[in-house]
A and B are shown apart, each in its own frame.
Chain A
């Protein structure tokens, strides 16, 4: 008998509905799985066979053919196990096929029939719902995540036998409902008020957050660079609903979603400098999202920037430029979103003291070599450079409170609103993403600002390439101060955050 059941797989960040078609006919006992299945699906055969037997059902000893359609999709998920088992039970008449209509089955099976959680549930459920699926069966650990899609009924089950019993009508499962109490409040457990002093660095970070600018912090060891960087997400605007869903999908596919909660915090990723290119931008036979994608809508922090191999940093150019990474593979060409704020930190020299303490022990040559390890094209995409000096003792023990993240974030939000309004007609929403055309058409400088810019270019020998970057930063500073146009003081401050290397 023939049966068709819905399962799903992911490719990149997209979910795809997979039709699991089974046919049982007379003939020598066999089990054929067709439809370009990857190794993990082939292993599924063995798991499914054992799970069915150990759940008190019969594995048909006839000629069994399974087709996974569409055939040209590279499927890489053990999440098809459950659908496979249900399809076999239905086509062998052990459960009624009608009961499986409009249902999606997602889960990996253990040999004893237990249903295990899988990655990528959210995008798979969203896509299935769009294609008419009404009920979803998943492991209890995937329940909350499946519920993020509001238009489906979610059933969670411990094992294959529970699902089968439900479908037969013997022991109906109860649909689960969203747990109340999962608060909407953004609670980062970090706050800017914990950082004493550091007015200059904090101001630069506020500008970075307000305009979405990439930033480089330079300072001696222990000056608080890492501490500052970790707090940037707390002053970025809260994730919008759409953004939150996008981020959650990414983490779902990467298997990093904890307890199936919607991601409300902006991601903060800080890969170690030993990371590979594939780890950074994504890779693998079926490409997995890399750190740039995991930082989508959040912060990618590269600590000790000069320690990263040049070849690894070079691959950041595309995501920094386009907010997207394309990964070409023989089997698939994928794109992952990767719109993040790059925050980098470095010491001023190998010993870390140059310019901040008198006893730097590095030779001129060593210092130059250290700084020149960073690729120029990468530096060109960093709008703000800021010094982070070691805080004075007095700052550390000061009792007067520093500004809280919430206060700073309010200013950031206002500045963002101005940008969004000004850039409404364009394909971007914050100053950092403006291209040459947007700058020309939307940024307006007062004439003293223009004069100062011209003078500064001559005297400070700024490169032509830094021009656009300066205007963008000046525009953000103007937006923070609520000014209608870019004034001299905004330009001056922007210049003080220029690349000084």
Chain B
């Protein structure tokens, strides 16, 4: 692996052993001073007690170390295009190194920069059209302003955040809870590839072969919140993972934003509660940018060139007016509202889709705020 130091490789190998999480790895490194030294040392009973291992699992750990397949490990790194980045490396995310238990190593596909302008955005997998639309719009605008976004890779809000960031021609980072030799959910394969191609990254604390288990997610969420200057929660039900992410952010003293939602929607109960507890309300992109500016961070003004304004003809405007940004409207209703014949209406709707002003959902058509703002 080019550019990866020996020390980082040993750290990555250590983190790949079963049972060694960031807390135990810290204990080991504190004792041996270097990853290489730690790997080659004789692991005695004193270490076992400090690591709070039972004799059997400690024996297993040593056995795993002794049979560790270096060749296979290097081959997988290059096959999947993965680079381990350790706490001491220059491109380790700068905000992350300050949290209580930073991961020793991040496995990384794509590019990481130690940039400060990072923002975590999270939300539920089951979101409303309103939430999805808002996620994409905010992400696009923030990305256009040079902010790097961080989120998970799940369906729903996560996916839309990354899609928005790509539309805004910006960088976005996916933090997953499984080894980078697999993709969950499978249908996001292409999205992830686009993210890497556009200068973003897919990150994981877990070594190859790890399945995404339920117990990994809180740890994963600490990375998402930890990497970012602030966390924005788009839509979250009570007791959902997005609230755990918000908790991590608060514990680390980072800002938390929440997007207000309907008082009737289950998916907004969690975010509305956050607001009640003092989170900052997101009503538009500026609410977030303001905080960055208040801290004296100069934003790279419009790193990506803002797309030229879309021009619409009369029919397109008429159809756009009949659409909602909150829910899908069936073509049937749009016919009534616009008085257009169906073939003409469908034609217009497709042209609007090509201009990214409209999107098609299972139940009909929705207006994309993401493009509408630029009109």
For chain A, give the interface size range.
20 to 34
Give chain B's interface residues, CB within 8 Å of chain A: 125-126, 128, 155-156, 190, 327-328, 330-333, 335, 342-344, 346-347, 349-351, 353-354, 356, 360-364
- Complex A-B, nearest 9 residue pairs according to Cβ-Cβ distance, in ascending order: A355-B362, A355-B363, A492-B347, A492-B350, A496-B346, A489-B347, A389-B330, A356-B363, A493-B346
- How far is B362's CA from A387's CA once the two chains are assembled, in angstroms? 8
Cross-chain pairs A/B with CB under 8 angstroms, 29 sampled: A197-B332, A199-B335, A199-B342, A203-B342, A355-B328, A355-B362, A355-B363, A356-B363, A364-B126, A387-B331, A387-B362, A387-B364, A389-B363, A452-B354, A456-B350, A456-B353, A459-B354, A459-B356, A460-B353, A488-B347, A489-B347, A492-B346, A493-B343, A493-B346, A493-B347, A493-B350, A495-B350, A496-B346, A496-B350
Q: Mark A116-151, 1 if CB is under 8 A from B, else 0.
A: 000000000000000000000000000000000000
Chain B residues with CB below 8 A from A492, complex form: 346-347, 350-351
Count A-B contacts at CB 8 Å: 73
A387-B347 contact, Cβ under 8 Å, with A203-B342, A356-B362, A460-B353: no
Set A356, A459, A481: member contacting B353, Cβ < 8 A:
A459
CA separation between A489 and B126, bound complex, in Å? 35
Do A198 and B332 have beta carbons less than 8 Å apart?
Answer: yes
A348 at interface by CB-CB < 8 Å: yes
Smallest beta-carbon distance B351→chain A, Å: 7
Which of B327, B349, B356 interacts with A496 by CB under 8 Å? B349
Given A364-B155, A500-B362, 6 more A-B residue pairs with CB atoms under 8 Å apart are: A200-B331, A200-B332, A455-B354, A477-B343, A489-B344, A495-B350
> Is B332's CB under 8 angstroms from A364's CB?
no
Interface centre among B128, B327, B362 (most CB of A within 10 A): B362
Cα(A412)–Cα(B130), bound, Å: 41
B-binding residues in A (CB < 8 A): 197-200, 203, 218, 348, 354-358, 364, 387, 389, 392, 452, 455-456, 459-461, 477, 481, 488-489, 492-493, 495-496, 500
Residues of A within 8 A of B155 (CB): 364
> What's the Cα separation between A197 and B336 when bound, in Å?
11
Chain A residues with CB under 8 A of B125: 364
Contacts of B327 in A (CB 8 A): 358
Q: How far is the CB of A395 from chain B (nearest CB, A)?
A: 8
A120 to B361, CA, bound (A): 51
What are the residues of chain A within 8 A of B342 when measuring CB–CB?
A: 199-200, 203
**When chains A and B are docked, how far (Å) is the Cα of A493 from the Cα of B128?**
27
The chain A residue with its CB closest to the CB of B128 is A358
CA distance A459 to B344 in the complex (A): 20
Indicate the member of B346, B349, B350 with the most A CB atoms within 10 Å. B350
Contacts of A500 in B (CB 8 A): 360, 362
Residues of the A chain whose Cβ atoms lie less than 8 Å from the Cβ of B360? 496, 500
